[in-house]
Amino acid sequence: MLDGLRDLAQALSIAFFGFSSGCAWIAAIVAPNTSYDRLDHGRADGHVRLLLTNASSHIAFVLLAAAALAVLGGAMGAGIVGALAAAGFFTNRWTLAPRKRGTTPPGMRQRKKTQRVVAVSLTLIFTLVAVIATGLAIARI
């Protein structure tokens, strides 16, 4: 009975890791490309920042669930790497957080493009970490 639960937890963790990787790929690559093809630059930039802010929380939650299931399935390494990936996705909330008005010198504009570039880069890096966690969960490491 316990072996059956362990196998189920491993299978669900692999599915959740794969689901989160797919969602991150859509949020970081597919949707921004479509936004910049169909919208003007300012609206596309705002759309991508909003998309990454909202999607990162959901992806982090799915990764935490996958990490917990991986630990229950006996893959401690996959659980640790998955939790690291979840923490990385949660950092997008801080990266894309609105800045206070007084942080830039008078007459200077805020550089929101840099925030977006950093958030997309973090998303891609931690997507790779989630893919590594998937491989570790498959190998039951």
Q: Determine the Cα–Cα distance for residues 24 and 17; give it in Å rounded to an integer.
A: 11
3-state helix, strand, coil in the chain (%, to 5): 85, 0, 15
Q: Is 19 exposed, middle or buried (0-12, 13-18, 19+ CB in 10 A)?
A: middle
Q: What is the pLDDT of residues 56-97, one digit of tens each?
A: 999 999 999 999 999 999 999 999 999 999 999 999 888 887
How far is it, in rounded angstroms, from Cα 139 to Cα 3? Answer: 16
Q: Is the pTM of this model over 0.85?
A: yes
- Distance of alpha carbon 135 from alpha carbon 141, whole angstroms: 9
35-45 residue pLDDT tens: 999 999 889 98
